Amino acid sequence: MGAHIEGSEAAGADVSAAGDGMGEDGRTGDSGAGRAARRDEAVRAAVEQGLLGPDTPIVGLLDVTGIRESAAELRVAFDAVVAPGTPVLHAFAVKATPLVPVLRLLREEGIGAEVASPGELALARTAGLGPEVTVLDSPAKTPRELREALALGIAVNADNPQELDRIDGLVRSAAGRSPIGIRVNPQIGGGSIEATSTATATSKFGVALRDEGAREWVVRAYLDRPWLTRLHAHTGSQGVPLSLMARGVAETYELAEEINRRAGRRQVDTLDIGGGLPVNFASDATTPTYAQYARMLAEEVPGLFDGRYGLVTEFGRSLLAKHGTVVARVEYAKSAGGRPVAVTHAGVQVATRTVYAPGVWPLRIAAYDAKGRPKEGPAVVQDVAGPACFSGDLLAEGCALPLLEQGDFAAALDTGAYYFAHHYAYNSLVRPGVYGFGPGREGGVAFAVVREAQTVEEVVAESGGAQVDALVGGLAPWGLS
């Protein structure tokens, strides 16, 4: 445990033998067979090496080889469509997997960071990401955050007119190295998931372009401010089809063209097209692929890639989701109303969206036996429950799997983004440890700690442990206590 994980060449050479990934050009997507084989090996090794067991009944696992592959696929996909020499920054949306070692790994693969809070910016800086590869977007930046970003020279996308006012004041005093843009909402409509659709008519993000007077306001804002050189839109997300995403990008491009026409110069020199490539949660296959999306953009918005505009992307889920697995021990196997229920240690604390909105965010579950081997046997319809004290705490309801028994393991697949990195402190359950896995120096699977498991002592400290008497003594006016 804790063994060093080798660099990309070694990892690629070792693991791509399973026939997955980069060999194909992404035209059809890969089947994910190599990734599934690596996952099975890792679960088994985690049990054998004692990472998982009765006293550590839940872990998050990250496939280092897979993350490197996805990063490479992203780079290759856009390199294939942009004019030679086009500046391209792929900024990983940190909110998808806010873990410092992950940001560092991606940095090594040529990927920067899109941040949306002081915490995310601090994670990116800790991972060694410089201002030139960092983009700050957020709908609620405070004056202090804006001042810090401009002082550091980080790219900033203003969300609305009030924020632009604040930036006006800062630009006058700051050295002004930050590339600055405005986020617009082309209002092209949402996808199948309301809560994560960003381009609906009433979305809270950006300047709503189709609202009365808004487009003209945006153009004037640029004409009045020669230092506004970027334009930003993020219209995709899970549930949004590629064609709709491409339309959002096309409308943003058209707006940049209009601004530049009216400015009589190439004032907007960089388009930030956001992220939002959806992820396939139904099988191991990677679909859609970055290559498909990049080719679609090249067909629908050819001017975008002809060399006149630099490009920024902000993918999150699609870079990490398929490389993460939550593995949880089956503490008890019982039966209720004739249906088998496996009570595991993974529930709402690691799969919050799935537990609260199972119809929208279903997860695949894989069954492993007590030794971490893929479980064999006839499929049995069963519930896979979590440890939290409410009845809806189910990772999966009525799913058909080999019957899970006490001491087996249930794995929630495709949970590398917006799942175990997004702990929800229900029932004061501790944050599970997160480990990266890959081929070890001496062969076999090796693990590295990405995030230590939280301890119960830390839970107490974060729950006011130092303020034990706060509410039973006399209260005092704020500042005098």
Ligand X SMILES: *Cc1c(COP(=O)(O)O)cnc(C)c1O
- How many chain residues interact with ligand X (CB under 6 A)? 16
| Distance between CA atoms of residues 326 and 34, nearest Å | 18
Write out the two tokens for 119.
């915490």
> In this chain, which stretch among 4-12, 312-320, 405-413, 457-465 interacts with ligand X, using CB under 6 A?
312-320
> In this chain, which stretch among 71-79, 288-296, 310-318, 339-347 interacts with ligand X, using CB under 6 A?
310-318
Other beta carbons within 10 angstroms of residue 99's beta carbon come to 21
207 or 445: CB nearest ligand X: 207
Pairing between β-strand 58-63 and β-strand 433-439 as defined by DSSP bridges: parallel
- Which own/partner contact pairs does 379-383 have at CB distance under 8 Å and 24+ positions apart? 380/340, 381/339, 381/340, 382/339, 382/340, 382/341, 382/342, 383/339, 383/340, 383/341, 383/342
Q: In angstroms, what is the minimal distance from the CB of 138 to ligand X? A: 8
Residues 183-222 as x/- pattern, contact with ligand X by CB under 6 A: ----------------------------------------
The reply on whether position 294 binds ligand X by CB under 6 A is: no
138 or 325: CB nearest ligand X: 138
| Distance between CA atoms of residues 478 and 338, nearest Å | 57
The reply on whether position 438 binds ligand X by CB under 6 A is: no
235 or 260: CB nearest ligand X: 235
What is the identity of the amino acid at 282?
Answer: A
> In this chain, which stretch among 35-43, 80-88, 271-279, 384-392 interacts with ligand X, using CB under 6 A?
271-279
Q: Provide the b/e sequence for 8-41 (b: ≥16 CB within 10 Å).
A: beebbebbbeeebbbeeebeebbbbebbbbbbbb
Q: Are 188 and 251 in contact (CB under 8 A)?
A: yes
350 or 410: CB nearest ligand X: 350
Q: Which of 275, 310, 347, 432 binds ligand X (CB under 6 A)?
A: 275
Q: In angstroms, what is the minimal distance from the CB of 122 to ligand X? A: 18
| Distance between CA atoms of residues 420 and 415, nearest Å | 7
44 or 234: CB nearest ligand X: 234
68 or 234: CB nearest ligand X: 234
Verify whether residue 389 is a known catalytic residue.
yes
| Distance between CA atoms of residues 419 and 272, nearest Å | 26
Phi, psi of 377 (to 5 degrees): 125, 165
> Which of 17, 140, 201, 389 does the annotation list as catalytic?
389
Query: Is the dihedral angle over the CA atoms 239, 243, 244, 245 positive or is it negative?
Result: positive
Which residue has the closest beta carbon to ligand X? 316
Q: In angstroms, what is the minimal distance from the CB of 62 to ligand X? A: 16
Write out the two tokens for 349.
């604390």
91-110 residues near ligand X, rule: CB under 6 A: 93, 95-96
> In this chain, which stretch among 14-22, 89-97, 101-109, 292-300 interacts with ligand X, using CB under 6 A?
89-97
The reply on whether position 276 binds ligand X by CB under 6 A is: yes
Q: How far is CA 59 from CA 54, 147, 157, 409, 453, in A?
A: 12, 39, 36, 11, 8
Give the start-end residues of each E strand in 162-277: 180-185, 207-208, 228-232, 270-272
Q: How far is CA 425 from CA 56, 237, 388, in A?
A: 18, 26, 10
Q: Which of 69, 109, 114, 163 binds ligand X (CB under 6 A)?
A: 114
> In this chain, which stretch among 11-19, 309-317, 374-382, 397-405 interacts with ligand X, using CB under 6 A?
309-317
274 or 433: CB nearest ligand X: 274
What are the catalytic residues? 389
**Residue ranges in contact with ligand X by CB under 6 A:** 93, 95-96, 114, 137, 234, 237, 274-277, 314-318
